[in-house]
């Protein structure tokens, strides 16, 4: 029993470490995309090229897509960490991931993850986990919508600058 607990603790530490690493990579990629956006828009404004500003829509749309996929691929790591926390009980390890997840998600999703974690049949467990909507675990999906909206504004702004202010498109 002691070896099982030690193995679970090590796997828990690995899950947290993997989550932290992926989150750090997401922040780095987010930073690169924001800097790229400002650079390309700044170049477009400096050169009065409305097409460049419209083309810069790639960056905020890229941020929205990146955030969706990062959340999609971090979901199994969150699931594993929460499952281990439940198996280890209240006294062994603080419930860091459970607390974090309950902060960013609806409690019903957390509760459903807990019930899925208790399923013994691996095939059934994975099947139910895949059916759990990844996007449903985020309380506020409006952030991705704002990035998509910003991308649309880049395109509309580029077109309007061309039509009303006579900026060259390329």
Give the pLDDT confidence of 105-164 residue by residue, as tens digits.
777 888 888 889 889 999 999 999 888 876 555 555 677 888 999 999 999 999 999 999
pTM (predicted TM-score): 0.81
Domain boundaries, the chain: 1-165
Q: What CA–CA distance (Å, rounded) separates 151 from 37?
A: 10
Q: What CA–CA distance (Å, rounded) separates 8 from 63?
A: 34
- Greater model confidence, 27 or 111: 27
pLDDT on residue 167: 96
Percentage of residues of the chain with pLDDT beyond 70: 91
For range 95-109, the mean pLDDT:
81
pLDDT on residue 114: 84
| Burial class, 158, CB count within 10 angstroms (exposed 0-12 / middle 13-18 / buried 19+) | buried
């Amino acid at each position: 029993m002691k070896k099982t607990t030690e193995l679970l603790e090590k796997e828990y530490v690995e899950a947290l470490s993997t989550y932290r690493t992926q989150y750090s990579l997401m922040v780095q990629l987010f930073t690169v995309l924001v800097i790229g956006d400002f650079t390309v828009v700044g170049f477009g404004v400096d050169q009065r090229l409305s097409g460049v500003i419209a083309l810069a829509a790639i960056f905020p749309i890229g941020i929205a897509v990146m955030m969706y996929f990062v959340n999609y691929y971090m979901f199994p790591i969150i699931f594993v960490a929460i499952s281990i926390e439940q198996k280890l009980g209240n006294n062994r390890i603080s419930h860091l991931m459970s607390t974090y997840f309950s902060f960013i998600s609806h409690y019903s999703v957390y509760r459903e993850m807990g019930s899925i974690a208790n399923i013994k049949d691996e095939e059934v467990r994975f099947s139910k986990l895949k059916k759990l909507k990844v996007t449903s675990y985020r309380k506020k999906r409006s952030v991705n919508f704002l990035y998509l909206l910003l991308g649309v504004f880049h395109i509309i702004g580029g077109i309007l600058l061309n039509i009303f202010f006579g900026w060259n498109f390329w």
